[in-house]
Amino acid sequence: MSRARKHNTTPDGESEETQVSRLLIWLSAMAIAFLLAIGTKAWYAGHSTHGYTLWTFSVLVALNMLLFAFTGNRVVQKRALLVIVGLLFTYLIASGGESNTGPLWFYVFPPLLFYLTDLKAGTAMLLFCFLLAAVVFQFPQLPMVTAEYDTDFKIRFFATLTFESIFCFVLEASRLRARNRLIDLARSHEHAARTDELTGLSNRRDMQNKLSAEFSRYQRSGRYFSIALIDLDLFKNINDRFGHDAGDAVLRTFSALMETIIRQTDIAARWGGEEFLVLLPDTSLLQALTLAERLRAGVAATRFEFDGKQLPVTISAGVCSIANASTLDNLLKQADIHLYNAKEAGRNQIAPRVRSQDDMEAQRST
């Protein structure tokens, strides 16, 4: 099985590895039934050694199933099954099975190999099996080799098996290609569903999920978090005076600037239009206010330009900590109220204004 297949889930949410496991169980069960039935038939037909050998293989397959049931180790189960099947086919070719029809079972091997291993390993194992068959066919006097096949059979056997192997290889390769393309497509769709196209930040839906996750974490562990709701001031004027493209450029530049200022663990999202929300895990109100102030000052100190013209860009922000809000709704409402207050107080500022902040500014101005 290909490496890429191992970590993926099917549309119904089941991992492919689980599907392979289920298939392996079915294959093993079928193999046991077949081996028991054909072994019994051989035994009744007087080929008791052949019958006993097939029964022994059915016991080995059953033991492998039991081993998997106890250990849950799929890799060992797959490898062991391949070894058992490989030994069985070697025996069937060497002994000829009943009426020299043993090699016919070999046709089961190519699809099974490609399904259980990847293309490279499957091809290598198939080549080894071809070599083994060639040796058995060519040297019937070898120890343990009891069958002899006529030339016509050998040629037809190799020709048809080669055709089947190439066919299986091409099918598996195109299946893998199509599957990888689907996975890439699903990934890019998933990314697009979470991302704001213009700024590359998380979009509102993604932020809502992250807020819910953070709130659950807070409920479980009591670890505080804060949010900052940020709005670009008089953004309509920028659009009106410099054009929509200039407005878009401001949104992009601001997003990039914000990402350089916040911590890696903080998450910034475009909440809608010219509004942004930053989620600050493990952050108190005071720390969040400090970060928001740093952002405000950073924006005020940055030269936003479009088409050689300087654009007047400032931000206002409302900050709130979960410590001051019992629910997510309340947290967002309070941040919105603070943002409104910041706008009302003249824009280019952060709210709430806590005493320490006021004090610092008062100290600075004296």
Ligand X SMILES: Nc1nc2c(ncn2[C@@H]2O[C@H](COP(=O)(O)OP(=O)(O)OP(=O)(O)O)[C@@H](O)[C@H]2O)c(=O)[nH]1
Binder among 172, 231, 266, 293 for ligand X (CB under 6 A): 231
227 forms part of the interface with ligand X (CB under 6 A): no
258 forms part of the interface with ligand X (CB under 6 A): no
Q: Which CB sits closer to ligand X, 283 or 349? A: 349
Q: Which amino acid is at 50?
A: H
Q: Is 274 assigned a catalytic role?
A: yes
Q: Which CB sits closer to ligand X, 54 or 339? A: 339
Binder among 233, 267, 276, 288 for ligand X (CB under 6 A): 233
The answer to whether 146 and 94 have CB atoms below 8 angstroms apart is: yes
Q: Which amino acid is at 68?
A: F
200 forms part of the interface with ligand X (CB under 6 A): no
Beta carbon of residue 258, minimum distance to ligand X (angstroms, whole number): 16
From the number of C-beta atoms within 10 Å of its C-beta (0-12, 13-18, 19+), residue 306 rates as middle
Beta carbon of residue 362, minimum distance to ligand X (angstroms, whole number): 26
Beta carbon of residue 361, minimum distance to ligand X (angstroms, whole number): 22
Q: Which CB sits closer to ligand X, 175 or 244? A: 244
Binder among 72, 200, 273, 312 for ligand X (CB under 6 A): 273
Stretch that binds ligand X, among 146-154, 163-171, 185-193, 226-234 (CB under 6 A): 226-234
Residue 280 token pair: 């600050």
274 forms part of the interface with ligand X (CB under 6 A): yes
Please tell me what DSSP assigns to residue 195. B
The answer to whether 215 and 297 have CB atoms below 8 angstroms apart is: no
Beta carbon of residue 246, minimum distance to ligand X (angstroms, whole number): 7
**First vs last C-alpha separation in the chain:** 73
DSSP code per residue over 188-256: HHHHHHHB-TTT-SB-HHHHHHHHHHHHHHHHHH---EEEEEEEETTHHHHHHHH-HHHHHHHHHHHHH
Distance CA 194, CA 180 (A): 21
Phi, psi values for residue 246, rounded to 5°: -65, -40
Beta carbon of residue 239, minimum distance to ligand X (angstroms, whole number): 5
Residue 51 token pair: 């019958």
Q: Which of 214, 274, 305, 344 is catalytic?
A: 274
93 forms part of the interface with ligand X (CB under 6 A): no
204 forms part of the interface with ligand X (CB under 6 A): no
248 forms part of the interface with ligand X (CB under 6 A): yes
Rounded to 10 degrees, the C-alpha dihedral 316/321/326/332 comes to: 20
Stretch that binds ligand X, among 163-171, 202-210, 244-252, 355-363 (CB under 6 A): 244-252
Residue 36 to residues 26, 68, 257: CA-CA distances in angstroms?
15, 21, 71
The answer to whether 258 and 278 have CB atoms below 8 angstroms apart is: yes
343 forms part of the interface with ligand X (CB under 6 A): yes
Active site residues: 274
Could you list the residues that contact ligand X (CB under 6 A)?
Answer: 198, 231-236, 239, 244, 247-248, 251, 273-274, 343, 347
